[in-house]
């Protein structure tokens, strides 16, 4: 492994890509620590250090921003607006015929959809920035902190607009940095920045577990969490790499004097075909009722029930609903992203068939049957992995941003595997050896 990294840095063009990616990462991390104008940084740090301050509602977005959200920096929104815009455009592609036609146009259509994603990202950044500023001004960003209402001392309209514009510009810069990594660096830029944002919170979260521990000054809890983390990484790698390969054969065709086809290939159907999207959907949907209660400041019966059962991540209704939503969105997302009828039609068009299955509708029905069979274990796996933070909260007294839980570990492992594969493929093109011999 170490020799493979050494060969990667010895290759001039690959070394330039790696160093460029590292440089962009450094710029991104610097931006996540620069506070925006109009914020009292000392009060923000006092609330972050306050153990009684409740940060649960914003934990997911804060994790994706690398801790920049709660510090209210220029990159406070991080890449969440871009992720949300990408998911919305992907869902609308199935619903709106115009977007579906653009998707089928190839590179030109993809470039147009990417442009729409950028515009929607800016619009969502303005909306989310306004909501974050309003939350910070009202003191609801850190519930239980004595100086929460003094985070934004000057609440004039000019300061508010300046703060929103600064965070929106920061989101645009983050989007630009991600595209630079994609074009001139290694891996997918947005995924790399997401990886760095989550990984940046690991050291402080692990050290907090050690500090809160009581057995042998916390080292036993720390070691147990590290062991659980390694087991979870191995499990996630195993499931993420698992796939059902459906064999496909292509009949020979004579075009002129040349023979085409006659080859054998396969359709890889991953066990976790939906990735981390169902977890993000379920988390976002469960945050909506708690946010409504928080902004309404109501003490009615419905608000009390939501606070006790849905806002509390350790409550039984929250756990059951969270698990069921993840399973539902796993099937929903697979259904809209993989079209068995379209795959069957393309196979039939080019003379392909699955051995033992007739071409056309029987092939589509067979693909749909197999996809449903493998989505069940994939969705259950996602639900169980996502409940790890809740179990850690009960077992170790950890906070809701448990480092080896749910969304974070799925993204860390997924992005890490894809980036290593890209580096390995480029090494094999030059040296015929990758990371694994």
Residue 432 resides in a domain = no
**pLDDT in the model for residue 147:** 73
Instruction: Answer yes or no: do 121 and 266 share one domain.
Output: no
Instruction: Answer yes or no: do 159 and 99 share one domain.
Output: yes
Instruction: Answer yes or no: do 256 and 157 share one domain.
Output: no
Q: Which of 95-99, 171-175, 330-334, 394-398 has the lowest mean pLDDT?
A: 394-398
**pLDDT in the model for residue 64:** 67
Cα 68 to Cα 302: distance, rounded to the nearest angstrom:
33
Instruction: Answer yes or no: do 279 and 177 share one domain.
Output: no
pLDDT value at 314 more than 80: no
**pLDDT in the model for residue 177:** 92
Instruction: Answer yes or no: do 278 and 187 share one domain.
Output: no
* Stronger pLDDT, 137 or 255, i.e. the higher one: 137
pLDDT value at 40 more than 60: yes
Residue 388 resides in a domain = yes
Instruction: Answer yes or no: do 319 and 193 share one domain.
Output: no
Total length of the chain: 437
The domain in which residue 264 lies consists of 237-404
The neighbour count for residue 286, using CB atoms within 10 Å, is: 17
**pLDDT in the model for residue 294:** 67
* 47-54 contact pairs (CB < 8 A, 24+): 47/141, 47/142, 47/145, 47/147, 47/148, 47/151, 48/142, 50/142, 50/144, 50/145, 50/146, 52/144, 52/145, 53/142, 53/143, 53/144, 53/145, 53/148, 54/142, 54/143, 54/144
Provide the token pair at 437.
Answer: 């011999």
Residue 417 resides in a domain = no
**Any idea what the CATH number is for the domain that residue 382 is in?**
1.10.3370.10
Q: What is the pLDDT of residues 374-415, one digit of tens each?
A: 999 988 888 888 877 666 655 555 555 556 666 778 888 888
pLDDT value at 56 more than 70: no
- Of 376, 363, 375, the C-alpha closest to 334 is 375
Residue 219 resides in a domain = no
Question: Is 315 exposed, middle or buried, given 0-12, 13-18 or 19+ CB atoms closer than 10 A?
Answer: middle
Instruction: Answer yes or no: do 117 and 11 share one domain.
Output: yes
Domain boundary among 175, 198, 221: 198
Domain boundary among 150, 177, 198: 198
Q: Which of 8-12, 55-59, 73-77, 256-260 has the lowest mean pLDDT?
A: 55-59
The CA-atom distances, in angstroms, between 299 and each of 192, 303, 306, 316 are 43, 6, 11, 22
Residue 343 resides in a domain = yes
**pLDDT in the model for residue 51:** 47
Instruction: Answer yes or no: do 114 and 189 share one domain.
Output: yes
Instruction: Answer yes or no: do 192 and 303 share one domain.
Output: no
Order of all β-strands in the sheet with 264-270: 264-270, 243-250, 352-353
Instruction: Answer yes or no: do 169 and 263 share one domain.
Output: no
* Stronger pLDDT, 170 or 411, i.e. the higher one: 170
Residue 299 resides in a domain = yes
Instruction: Answer yes or no: do 382 and 289 share one domain.
Output: yes
**pLDDT in the model for residue 205:** 74
- DSSP for 127-176? HHHHHHHHHHHHTTTSBT-TTGGGSSS---HHHHHHHHHHHHHHHHHHHH
Instruction: Answer yes or no: do 173 and 268 share one domain.
Output: no
Residue 211 resides in a domain = no
Cα 30 to Cα 34: distance, rounded to the nearest angstrom:
7
Cα 316 to Cα 323: distance, rounded to the nearest angstrom:
11
134 HSE (CA, 13 A, CB side):
9
Q: What is the pLDDT of residues 81-112, one digit of tens each?
A: 888 888 888 888 878 888 888 887 878 888 88
The neighbour count for residue 15, using CB atoms within 10 Å, is: 12
Number of domains in the chain: 2
Residue 414 resides in a domain = no
CB of 132 closer than 8 Å to CB of 167: yes
This prediction has a pTM of 0.79
Q: What letter does residue 54 receive in the DSSP assignment?
A: B
Cα 175 to Cα 122: distance, rounded to the nearest angstrom:
10
Give 211's contacts (C-beta < 8 A, 6+ positions apart): 218
The CA-atom distances, in angstroms, between 417 and each of 20, 83, 191, 272, 405 are 20, 20, 11, 14, 18
* Stronger pLDDT, 284 or 365, i.e. the higher one: 365
pLDDT value at 437 more than 50: yes
- Of 342, 349, 341, 366, the C-alpha closest to 250 is 349
CB of 423 closer than 8 Å to CB of 430: no
């Amino acid at each position: 492994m170490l020799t493979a990294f050494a060969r990667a840095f010895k290759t001039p063009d690959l070394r330039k890509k790696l160093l460029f990616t590292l440089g962009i990462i450094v710029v991104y991390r610097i931006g996540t620590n620069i506070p925006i104008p109009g914020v009292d940084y000392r009060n923000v740090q006092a609330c972050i250090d306050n153990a009684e301050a409740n940060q649960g509602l914003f934990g997911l977005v804060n994790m994706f921003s690398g801790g920049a959200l709660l510090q209210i920096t220029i990159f406070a929104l991080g890449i969440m607006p871009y992720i949300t815009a990408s998911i919305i455009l992907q869902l609308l592609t199935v619903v709106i015929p115009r977007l579906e036609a653009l998707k089928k146009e190839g590179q030109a259509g993809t470039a147009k959809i990417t442009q729409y994603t950028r515009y929607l990202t800016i619009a969502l950044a303005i909306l989310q920035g306004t909501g974050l500023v309003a939350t910070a001004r009202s003191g609801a960003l850190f519930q239980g902190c004595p100086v929460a209402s003094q985070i934004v001392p000057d609440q004039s309209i000019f300061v508010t607009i300046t703060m929103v514009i600064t965070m929106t510009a920061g989101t645009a810069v983050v989007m630009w940095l991600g595209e630079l990594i994609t074009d001139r660096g290694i891996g997918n830029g947005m995924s790399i920045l997401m990886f760095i944002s989550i990984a940046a919170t690991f050291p402080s979260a692990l050290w907090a577990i050690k500090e809160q521990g009581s057995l042998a000054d916390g080292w036993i809890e720390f070691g147990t969490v590290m062991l659980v983390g390694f087991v979870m990484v191995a499990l996630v790698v195993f499931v993420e790499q698992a796939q059902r390969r459906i064999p496909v054969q292509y009949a020979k065709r004579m075009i002129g004097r040349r023979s085409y086809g006659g080859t054998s290939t396969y359709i890889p159907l991953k066990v976790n075909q939906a990735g981390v999207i169902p977890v993000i959907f379920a988390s976002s949907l469960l945050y909506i009722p708690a946010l409504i209660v928080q902004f309404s400041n109501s003490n009615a019966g419905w608000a009390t029930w939501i606070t006790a059962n849905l806002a509390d991540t350790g409550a039984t209704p929250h756990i059951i609903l969270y698990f069921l939503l993840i399973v539902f969105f796993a099937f929903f997302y697979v259904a809209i992203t993989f079209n068995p009828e379209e795959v069957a039609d393309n196979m039939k068009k080019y003379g392909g068939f699955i051995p033992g299955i007739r071409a056309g509708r029987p092939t589509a029905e067979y693909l749909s049957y197999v996809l449903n069979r493998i989505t069940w274990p994939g969705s259950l796996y996602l639900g169980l992995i996502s409940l790890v933070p809740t179990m850690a909260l009960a077992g170790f007294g950890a906070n809701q941003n448990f480092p080896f839980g749910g969304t974070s570990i799925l993204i860390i492992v997924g992005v890490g595997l894809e980036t290593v594969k890209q580096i390995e493929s480029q090494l094999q093109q030059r040296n015929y050896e990758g990371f694994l011999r």
